[in-house]
Amino acid sequence: MRAIYLACSAGILMFFAALGAGSIAQAQIVVIGDSNIAGKGVAPSDNYPSKLERALRARGYQGGVINAGVNGDTTQGVLGRLDSDVPPGTKVAIVWVGVNDIRRHGATIESVRANRQEIANRLRSRGIKVIMLGRNYRPTGHPELLQNDPDQHLNAAGYDTVVARTLPQVNAALGQGGGKRH
C-alpha cells in the first residue's frame, strides 16, 4: 500500500512540475495598435506580430503572439477594446498607436500621451508587462523599408527592422532568455 502511495505522490508531483515548466514557455504576447501592428499592405505572414513570433520561436519561445492591430485605430479605440483584445493570461503587451489620433483626428500630442499612459497603466494593473512603441521604432531615412503609399506604411523589410529593434525588450520582458527552457 505504501509503495502505491509513493508512486502516486511522485506521479502527481511530476505532473504539477511539468505544468509549472510549461507555463513559462507558454507566455502570451498581445501586440495591439493601429495599421503598424495590423500590417496594412503586407501579407499576414509579413506583419510585425507574425515576424516577431517567428523570431521568438527561433530562440525557443513556445507561446503565441496575437495580432490585435486595427487599421486606422486610435488611442481611444485601443482603450475601448483593451479588455476584450488582451485576454486573461497575457504576460506581455506591445502597444503601438497614436499617429492616427494626430494625423486624421487632430488630437494634441498631450492627449495622445495621456491616452497611451492610460493604456499602459490599465495593462500593468493586470500584471502585464508593457512595451510602448513609438516613432523611434519606425525606420526613418530608409524609403526602401516603406510601401509606396501616402501613409508610408512599412513593407516586409521594414517590419524586419522593427523586430530587430524590439526583440531585446521582448526577450527581457519574457525573462528566462526569451522563454527558452533551461
Predicted pLDDT of residue 91: 96
Q: For the residues 147-174, what does the mean pLDDT come to?
A: 94
CB within 8 Å of 76: residues ≥ 6 apart: 101, 115
What the block records as the C-alpha cell of 140 is 526613418
Predicted pLDDT of residue 111: 97
Counting Cβ atoms within 10 Å, is residue 69 exposed (0-12), middle (13-18) or buried (19+)?
buried
Q: How many CA atoms lie within 13 A of 29 on its CB side?
A: 32
What the block records as the C-alpha cell of 171 is 526577450
Predicted pLDDT of residue 135: 81
Place of cell 503572439: 65
Percent of the chain clearing pLDDT 90 (strictly above) = 73
Residue 27 confidence class, pLDDT cut points 50, 70, 90: low
Predicted pLDDT of residue 36: 93
Q: For the residues 1-16, what does the mean pLDDT come to?
A: 40
Predicted pLDDT of residue 123: 98
Residue 17 confidence class, pLDDT cut points 50, 70, 90: very low
Per CATH, is 26-174 categorized as 3.40.50.1110?
yes
C-beta neighbour count of 156 within 10 angstroms: 17
Q: What residues does each domain of the chain span?
A: 26-174
